[in-house]
Amino acid sequence: MTVLTESSASSESPTGTESSVVFDELAALLPASQLMATDEGASYYRDQSDGTASGLPLAIVFPANTEDVAAIVAIAAAHHVPVVPQGARTGLAGGANAVAGCLVLNTTRMNKIIGVDRDDQTATVQAGVRTIALARAASAVGLFYPPDPGSWRASTIGGNVATNAGGMLSVKYGVTGNFVRQLTVVLADGSVVRTGQRTIKGVAAYDLTALLVGSEGTLGIVTEITVGLLPAPAAAFGVSATFATVAEALAAASVIVASSRRPSVLEYLDGACITAINAYDPASALPAGTAALLLIQSDEAGRAADDVRTYAETLRAGGATAVVIASDAVALDELMNARRLLHPALQAVRGASLNEDITVPRSQLPTLLSSLEQISAELAIPIAVGGHLGDGNLHPIVGFDPSSEVDVAAAQEAYARIIRLAISLGGSATGEHGIGVLKQDHLDDELGPVLRALQERVKHAFDPDGIMNPGKKL
């Protein structure tokens, strides 16, 4: 990982003359409102990750539809100019950061909900539609789009597809990819394909839809997405429980995971997260002075209240110091909203943070959490841990002062050790945020050379000239 805020254009980027030819071609294609010169568009250079490198783009473009994207990519392909797609730039791994001499292709003007089909329980949207807008459009006709990444009020569906975003409801409903049926994709030569099928099942061809999900824009640019929806669930009931020790919280959660009543939410926050969230937004009012907090919900029709009573008994039997049942939507939203502040709250503690997104087999959670305490102590750097306990996908957050060289070095070391720890426990560097540029150094540890080479052949099959978001993912 390289902690840089901006790198200079590399020697491979187009010369000034070539750049101006490309810019002129774009200006001939797009109205002025859809094309921005580099000096106007600095806010589009990068996502929300701290400490990731970005380069100076050639221009920022704002296509309105698939045809615009195809024409832009055709120009880029003709001049061998890299294209970096981005949505709302809520990413946490630098996947949407500009690379030197690229076109930044921002999808936020592609924000049209093309249709919601109540009978077939599907929705088709442009890639720049916000996650919450899709969820609301589904809800308006009695349907449900479950994936709810932390940034869902701002994030786009295209960005969610690019990282295969999860969220708090993933423990029951799965991640973005579990809902994606069809993708309209602009390939590296500007041609357009639609992958997948509208139907629930389908095995006519290789599942390129699944391959594109999570590919961070390195195989093609997703412009339209058809998702499957579910009937709206029942109103949720929830329970929160505090524990004097992390071990008791983990043990109680294990009992719930092993039961046949599947919670719709099973989240974890440690004491440091609670302190940071309460400091960041005092309205959060999470219970202070505790080692660990579990948030658990059920949204099962005709059973949610009974599920939550059962969970509450399990939590009490597991030694919870306080157990609070909430059947009130407002109270539940407050808890969920407080939980969603995890990243900004921890970023605020020391001014910057490195956000982990590790996964481990659930049986390894006790070892993981005790090892994280050790790393924090050894490097004298704060590590707060929260996240999706039910999925084994946690977000240890390493806070650091970006102006302190000592802090930066310790944070980098902690960050790398945590990923190596997760991999050594049978896990992965990333469950839902992606590799981006932040985790590049760890990919080889995880894949090994033969699988890495196969991945590169697949990339080459899609993008032989390497212009699609180069330097990301692989």
**Span interacting with a second copy, options 47-55, 58-66, 283-291, 449-457, rule CB under 8 A:** 449-457
Closer Cβ to a second copy, 380 or 452, answer by number: 452
**Span interacting with a second copy, options 4-12, 325-333, 339-347, 450-458, rule CB under 8 A:** 450-458
For the purposes of burial, counting CB atoms within 10 Å of the CB of 361, is it exposed (0-12), middle (13-18) or buried (19 or more)?
A: exposed
User: Does the protein bind a second copy through residue 210 (CB under 8 A)?
Assistant: yes
Question: Would you give the DSSP letter of residue 110?
Answer: -
**Span interacting with a second copy, options 125-133, 317-325, 402-410, 460-468, rule CB under 8 A:** 460-468
Dist CA 322 CA 248 (whole Å):
13
Q: How far is CA 338 from the centre of its chain?
A: 18
- Return all residues near 96 (Cβ < 8 A) that are at least 6 apart: 46, 47, 84, 85, 86, 87, 89, 159, 217, 436
User: Does the protein bind a second copy through residue 361 (CB under 8 A)?
Assistant: yes
Q: Write each residue from 10 to 39 as x if it is in contact with a second copy (CB under 8 A), else as -, in one continuous string.
A: ------------------------------
Dist CA 288 CA 179 (whole Å):
37
Q: Which of 347, 428, 416 is nearest to 382 (CA)?
A: 347
CB of 87 to a second copy, least distance (A): 16
Q: Write each residue from 126 to 155 as x if it is in contact with a second copy (CB under 8 A), else as -, in one continuous string.
A: ----------------x-------------
Closer Cβ to a second copy, 213 or 414, answer by number: 213
3-state secondary structure of 104: strand
Q: Edge-to-edge strand order for the sheet containing 83-86?
A: 35-37, 59-61, 103-106, 83-86
Closer Cβ to a second copy, 279 or 454, answer by number: 454
Q: Which of the residues 385 through 404 are near a second copy (CB under 8 A)?
A: 388, 391-393
CB of 335 to a second copy, least distance (A): 22
Amino acid at position 279, single letter: A
User: Does the protein bind a second copy through residue 74 (CB under 8 A)?
Assistant: no
Sign of CA dihedral 53, 55, 60, 64: negative
Pick from 38, 163, 297, 469: which binds a second copy (CB under 8 A)? 163
Q: Which of the residues 402 through 441 are near a second copy (CB under 8 A)?
A: 426-435, 439
Pick from 214, 238, 386, 470: which binds a second copy (CB under 8 A)? 214
CB of 6 to a second copy, least distance (A): 26
Size of the chain in residues: 474
Sign of CA dihedral 14, 18, 20, 24: negative
User: Does the protein bind a second copy through residue 86 (CB under 8 A)?
Assistant: no
Dist CA 120 CA 123 (whole Å):
9
Do 67 and 15 contact (CB within 8 A), yes or no? no
Residue 374 to residues 274, 293, 371, 378, Cα–Cα distance (Å): 20, 20, 5, 6
Pick from 7, 254, 327, 424: which binds a second copy (CB under 8 A)? 254
CB of 180 to a second copy, least distance (A): 11
CB of 205 to a second copy, least distance (A): 5
Dist CA 470 CA 472 (whole Å):
6
User: Does the protein bind a second copy through residue 66 (CB under 8 A)?
Assistant: no
Closer Cβ to a second copy, 82 or 177, answer by number: 177
Q: Which of the residues 259 through 318 are near a second copy (CB under 8 A)?
A: 259-262, 300-303, 306-307
Closer Cβ to a second copy, 19 or 359, answer by number: 359
Residue found by looking up tokens 């294609």 in the block: 29
Pick from 208, 247, 325, 348: which binds a second copy (CB under 8 A)? 208
Q: Which of the residues 87 through 126 are near a second copy (CB under 8 A)?
A: 117, 119-122
Question: Would you give the DSSP letter of residue 241?
Answer: E
CB of 118 to a second copy, least distance (A): 8
CB of 371 to a second copy, least distance (A): 16
From start to end of 5-148, where are the E strands?
Answer: 35-37, 59-61, 83-86, 103-106, 113-117, 122-126, 143-144
Dist CA 265 CA 251 (whole Å):
17
Closer Cβ to a second copy, 46 or 459, answer by number: 459
Please state the φ and ψ torsions of residue 337, each to the nearest 5 degrees.
-65, -40
User: Does the protein bind a second copy through residue 337 (CB under 8 A)?
Assistant: no
CB of 299 to a second copy, least distance (A): 9
Q: Which of the residues 174 through 203 are near a second copy (CB under 8 A)?
A: 174-175, 177-178, 187, 191-195, 197-203
3-state secondary structure of 227: strand
Closer Cβ to a second copy, 31 or 302, answer by number: 302
Q: Which of 60, 67, 109, 64 is nearest to 81 (CA)?
A: 60
- Which stretch of DSSP H or E encloses residue 252? helix 246-257
Question: How many residues contact a second copy, by CB under 8 A?
Answer: 92
CB of 301 to a second copy, least distance (A): 4
Residue 447 in tokens: 């894949």
**Span interacting with a second copy, options 5-13, 21-29, 45-53, 358-366, rule CB under 8 A:** 358-366
Dist CA 215 CA 76 (whole Å):
20
